Chains A and B, each alone.
Chain A
Amino acid sequence: MPGIKIELLIPEMFLFAWALFLFLYDLGAKRKNSQSLGYLAMFGVAVTAVLLSLFHGGMVFGTMFQSDQLALFFKVIFLGAAFMAVGASFDIASEKIHNHRGEYYGLILLSTVGMMFLSSASELLMLYIGLELTTIPLYVLVAYFKDDRLSVESGMKYLIVGAFSSAILLYGLSILYGLTGTTDIVLMKINLSLVFLANGKIGPGLILAIVMVIAGIGFKLALVPFHMWAPDVYQGAPTPITGFLSVGSKAAGVVAFARIFVNGLIGFATDVMAPLDWGIIVAVLASAAMILGNITALRQKNIKRMLAYSSIAQIGYLMIGMVAATDRGISAVSYYMFIYLFANMGAFTIATIFNDKTGSDGIISYAGLSKSSPGFAACMTVFLLSLAGIPPLGGFVAKYLVFASGIQAGYTWLVILALLTAVVSLYYYANVIKMMYFSSESPSYKIKPPIPAQIVLFIGVAGVVIFGLFPQPILNLAAEAAKVFAF
């Protein structure tokens, strides 16, 4: 077979091996030395990124593993999320996790390997395995604080809802297989059109498949109404893991959704194929996510819950690009996810460090932060403003592009709704900024993040600012990624 280019798997294999190495290293290393594990994990992620830049472009195992531009783009996001999550974890690792630090870092890397496989999957089985590989380490990570009731509880919830949704997804995928006789997404697309041409219609089984796959991936995306687990889990999990969940795991869901729907089921995106179209359903779910996420976030007092609802709303915005189902939509989605990586990981890193120092996640505890720790507060302000979509930060460009693609595709009502809810969102983002800057309180503590966390914050701010001012290089890559699907 000419197509076996096994070297394309080197990045994944290396990261996998590195995770195992971390397990072993932890066994051998002295307990006191908690820092070196973290640095090793960051190093491993960085090396994987370098390997990725060397080995990409092509297919392995027939067409099962696609190392294309879309996969590459999202793999960079996963690695970025892992890098930042590890960087934010140093204090937690040394203070709260007394045993099994190696496993903590190792599991983050293993989950990342799962995401990388998922993003390369052009075939349903591969996709499902990738999804499981991603999620199973996360179950453990969410419940990592064994003494913390909330953490254990949220891990349990995540596991059960996750298993539930995973089963539903598998049903959906098997129906798709039953309808088309193939698990290859491109073949599936062809077979569906052949069936349609032969019979003039497609059986109602497709509806069932569409709904179940939406529900299954909707769980990963925390798309309303499959979002119920998110606030509890986000609150209970160790904060860097929450960040990783909200960026890495979501990005994995985004790419899976794009592969199945925007590639495989592209013919059913618009109401040409009514009543078998998925576009309108996703649009309605997206608007529900924007409304519910933003309005519920208004009343949150815990920063992690607030960010949880905010990320539900953000997925709502992002799905506009998805329902547009055009190359512009997909490149906007990719860029959106890329910026979201910096802003959201940054915000969660801030929440982590703040909690390490003060033991609190209450928004009210942020009062007067700008006086004691001006640089720290400024970073948070940049992240929140980007999430709110204020120019010239990356979040603005991202929203603009997604909205533009939505309007181009005829979803004007959805974009108007998005704009209205975005105005609402400004309130809760600005509320934190107001707390930090315009409060008469002056806290006695001074926050000085550890070096790795400083690096993470620097990357976050730089990403949001630089790629907001000069989005062109990223946009070019995102456009390349969108070209993977032949529209």
Chain B
Amino acid sequence: MSYYLLLIPLFPLLGFLINGLLLGKLNKKIVSIVACGAVGLSFLWGLKLFFNLLALPADSRIIEEIAFTWIPSGEFNVNVGFLFDPLSAVMVLVVSGVGFLIHLYSIGYMHDDSGYGRYFTYLNLFIFSMLTLVLANNYLLMFVGWEGVGLCSYLLIGFWFEKQTAADAGKKAFIVNRIGDFGFLLGLFIIFWSTGSLNFITVFDKAPQVFAMGAGLITAATLLLFLGATGKSAQIPLYVWLPDAMEGPTPVSALIHAATMVTAGVYMIARSHVLFLMAPTTLMVVAIVGVATALFAATIALTQNDIKRVLAYSTISQLGYMFVACGVAAFSAGIFHLMTHAFFKALLFLGAGSVIHSLSGQQDMRFMGGLKRHMPTTFWTFLVATLAIAGIPGLSGFFSKDEILWKSFSSDYGSIWIWAIGLFTAMLTAFYMFRLLFLTFYGGERMDHHAKEHLHESPKIMTVPLTILGVLAIVGGYIGIPHILGGGNNFEKFLEPVMGNVQHGGEEAMVMASSGQNGGTELMLMGISVVLILASIYLAYVLYVKNIALAGKIRQSLSGLHKILYGKYYVDELYGAVIIRPLIGLSLFLWKIVDVILIDGLLNGLATIIGDISKIMRPVQSGLLRRYTTVFLLGVVLILGYFVFR
């Protein structure tokens, strides 16, 4: 039977085409119906297929469909084909589901923007690219989606292109992503060269035969893929574009820079886990980069004053957790966190957007405060999301984050150090998130008089998505309650046909948990983290609600450290000095010396030679008819001569 997987990305593509071709000719209402309807239909179709998938026995939950063959030629066929298995099912539902809510929210948020139609056109194109990325059955099509996502993020970050910073941020995102893409592409070349295919199933089948475990080639390939992932998923060293990307409209930040696009890297690694498992060195690199990014970004988030910037660094930090999970071979834990994070981070961004909307564009938390009274729905949903990301038991973030911490402790690939840094980062997370919450919603109203009069709760079209996401941020974790807490970890079980039983959790952990050996450790670690997190929340409460003067004092006594953190470790400046300035110098050299003198000289020389040749030839192409016939005849004679004398 045919499942028509093609329909899932097709709906947003149609939305894109309709709104794009009739840009400026449709009124806002129709634009929003088309755009939201397209994504909504994708979600519904994805949901239907999800239930179809559930109805199949667990082992055969892989649907592969070739939509069409682009270029058939001999052994190498370029196919447009889709793969729907538990992993892509989760991704499709997250992308189209969260995407749909953000589309709805955007109707309210972008209502007065002059680029309304253009905005929704880009948004649909983005969803189309992302769905292509997660549904592709081969690396080539995945790469097409990957590039499409990069293009859309460029367009959407630079959406307000008349603003110089926005245009620059768009360019920065694009260029940094290109570096990662280059790595990804090189990785693909190695894979294709070794296995002769780019189809996922074929590649993963052949991989154990063509690659030796831990050999240089597979390590190089996976490291290159990981480089691609660091670009898209904003990890060290390519994370610099994401904070700047907050120049785009806030719903875009929620969609691209929290819920979907940045998860592409995590998805790609989870999809390629067969390859990564064959390269332990790469896994170690992934885990170390992940945990370093998590810590690094969390420390920066401590001091930022721009509400969206805090969230941006928090995203980078949370993505770090997902890479830690991949690095310790707990791929389904990574995807689990990806999903819960999509819920609560989209909620945080949309909540922040609601706040900014109400304050007429103000993003600096020093000019907020006391919004709890004015915006109750925004506050309560924001509180839920904050509790979730902090990892308070009972909310989604707790289950997924704790799963990652436990795996980083217990997995063969993990270590106590990764666990410890992860735990410390979790404390920082709780601290900076509650700092944000307290500064925004509690305390005195620090905005100016004019803004104070304008304070209002956002319209229904914005608060309804907030509420839905709030519910998801709570219950989203219940599908992955670990065995130790009496759950069945259904999420991991669901992904098992894709991931196999690679991670050390699985059945083994269940056995251990019931026998009470390792279970004790797991419970103890869980307890430690909960206590520490609660402590750091209390600390934030003391510093930013009860005794605000103390925060200032601490900041002064640690002014050096604060300056470094506030300056984001001066990485942008470092890149500027170490990479960009020399590059400009190099390009100046290339332009002035190599290009103008060498190449132009060479080309001009060549052109002169060609010119000379054509000068010799010119009498031939003279317009004189008898010359033409002479050459014609000469041609015949020459060819004959060739036959005769060879």
Residues of A within 8 A of B (CB): 153, 156-157, 160-161, 164-165, 168, 207-208, 211-212, 214-215, 218-219, 225-226, 228-229, 231-232, 275, 281, 295-296, 298-299, 328, 392, 397, 400-401, 404, 408, 469-472, 475
Contact = CB atoms under 8 A, between A and B. Distances in A.
A225 B632 contact: yes
B636 interface: yes
Given A161-B625, A225-B632, A295 B68 contact: no
A404 B621 contact: no
Interface of B: 68-74, 607, 610-611, 614, 620-621, 623, 625, 627-629, 631-632, 634-636, 638-640, 642-644, 646
B71 A400 contact: yes
A400 B69 CA distance: 15
Contacts of B636: 168, 211-212, 215
Contacts of B646: 275
25 contacts: A153-B623, A164-B629, A165-B632, A211-B639, A215-B632, A215-B639, A225-B632, A225-B638, A226-B632, A228-B631, A229-B628, A231-B621, A275-B643, A281-B642, A296-B614, A299-B614, A400-B71, A400-B73, A404-B73, A404-B74, A408-B74, A469-B70, A470-B68, A471-B70, A475-B72
A365 to B, nearest CB: 23
Given A295-B610, A404-B73, A470-B68, A228 B628 contact: yes
Contacts of A208: 640
A204 to B, nearest CB: 8
A401 B71 contact: yes
Given A214-B639, A401-B73, A472-B72, A157 B631 contact: no
Nearest to A218: B635
A160 B629 contact: yes
A307 B393 CA distance: 71
Taking each of A208, A225, A295, which has the highest tally of chain B beta carbons within 10 Å of its own beta carbon?
Answer: A225
Nearest to B642: A281
Nearest to A288: B635
A404 B73 CA distance: 8
A400 B73 CA distance: 9
B407 to A, nearest CB: 42
A471 B638 CA distance: 40
Nearest to A157: B625
A157 B616 CA distance: 22
A208 B623 CA distance: 29
A472 B70 CA distance: 7
Given A161-B628, A164-B629, A232 B623 contact: yes
A228 B70 contact: no
Contacts of B627: 228
Contacts of A328: 73
A281 B638 CA distance: 11
Contacts of A168: 636
A218 B636 CA distance: 11
Given A275-B643, A296-B614, A472 B68 contact: yes
A231 B617 CA distance: 14
Q: Which 8 A-B pairs have the closest CB atoms?
A: A225-B635, A228-B628, A207-B643, A404-B73, A215-B636, A211-B639, A211-B640, A228-B631
Contact of A299 (B69, B610, B634, B642): B610
Contacts of B634: 225
Given A157-B625, A207-B640, A226 B635 contact: yes
A214 B636 CA distance: 9
A158 to B, nearest CB: 10
A228 B643 contact: no
A265 to B, nearest CB: 14
Contacts of B621: 228, 231
Contacts of A229: 628
A212 B635 CA distance: 10
Given A392-B70, A471-B71, 7 more contacts: A161-B629, A164-B629, A211-B640, A228-B627, A229-B628, A397-B71, A400-B71
Nearest to B630: A228
A164 B632 CA distance: 9
Nearest to A154: B623
Contacts of B628: 157, 161, 228-229
B610 A211 contact: no
A135 to B, nearest CB: 15
A372 B226 CA distance: 46
Nearest to A165: B632
Contacts of A281: 639, 642-643
B27 to A, nearest CB: 23
B138 to A, nearest CB: 16
Taking each of A211, A275, A299, which has the highest tally of chain B beta carbons within 10 Å of its own beta carbon?
Answer: A211
Contacts of A397: 70-71
Contacts of A400: 71, 73
A400 B643 CA distance: 31
Nearest to A468: B70
Taking each of B72, B73, B607, B611, which has the highest tally of chain A beta carbons within 10 Å of its own beta carbon?
Answer: B73
A356 B632 CA distance: 34
Contacts of B629: 160-161, 164
B488 to A, nearest CB: 46
Contact of B631 (A211, A225, A475): A225
A401 B69 CA distance: 14
Contacts of A215: 632, 635-636, 639
B143 to A, nearest CB: 13
Contacts of A471: 70-71
B475 to A, nearest CB: 42
